Amino acid sequence: MWLDRVQKASPGTLDITWKNFSLEQVNSKEGPEWKVWEEKGLDEARALLASVAGEAAKRQGGEAFDRFHLALLTARHGGGRVALNEVDSLVKVAEDAGLDAAQFRKDLDDPGLVKIVADDHENSTGNLGAFGTPTFVFDNGQSAYVKTFIPPEDESLEAFENFLGLFSQRSYIGEVKRPQPPWPKGAV
C-alpha cells in the first residue's frame, strides 16, 4: 500500500515486478526438503492460495493484477484481515477489483500457477537471499528487506526515496534495526 502511494506521487518512476514468497515455507520447522506447495492443500496453507490468486490475476493483465494486489493488501492489512486461504474471499476481492470472476475462479484451479509460486519462492530465497517480505531487489542486483509500517501519506515518497538512497547502492549497510522497546512506540 506504501508503494501505491509512491506511484501516485511520482507516476512512472517505479517499475515493480512482484514475485511470490512464502513465509510459511521459510518459517517451517519441517526441514529444507519439506515444501508447503507439495505438502499442503491450497486451503490448508496460510497464504499459498493468495499467491496463486495473484498469478490468476496476472493472467487478466498488468493493470488487473495491480488492482487485485492493492485490493488484497487493503483487505488483509487495512483492517479487514480477509482470509488468504478461502476461494470465495479471494474471488470477492477479485470481483471488487474489477476482474472477470469466472475466469479468475477457473484459473485458481490451474496447477501450473502453484509451480510459478514455488519457482518464484525458490529463486527468491536461493538466488536473491530473501528471508522476509518485503524484500526489494534493485536493478543493480542489490537487495534489502525493510520492516515498516505504512508511512503517512505526505511522507510516502520521501520515505521511499530515503530508503532507496540508503540501500540501493550501499552493499556495505548490512542491517538497521531499532531496539525493542521502544519501537514501534509512536509508529502507528
b/e map 155-176, b = 16+ CB within 10 Å = ebbebbeebeeebbeeeeeeee
Distance of CA 167 to the CA centre of its chain: 19
Mention every residue, 6+ apart, whose C-beta is less than 8 A from residue 58: 64, 65
Q: If you average pLDDT over every residue of the chain, what do you get? A: 92
Confidence of residue 19 (pLDDT cuts 50, 70, 90): very high
Q: Give me 185's grid cell.
A: 512506540
- What is the Cα–Cα distance from 113 to 107, expressed in whole angstroms? 8
Q: Give me 146's grid cell.
A: 525493510
- What is the Cα–Cα distance from 131 to 27, expressed in whole angstroms? 9
The label of the residue with cell 502511494 reads 5
How much is the pLDDT for 185?
Answer: 62
The predicted model scores a pTM of 0.90
Confidence of residue 186 (pLDDT cuts 50, 70, 90): low
- What is the Cα–Cα distance from 156 to 150, expressed in whole angstroms? 8
Q: What is the pLDDT of residues 67-115, one digit of tens each?
A: 999 999 999 988 778 999 999 999 999 999 999 999 999 999 999 999 9
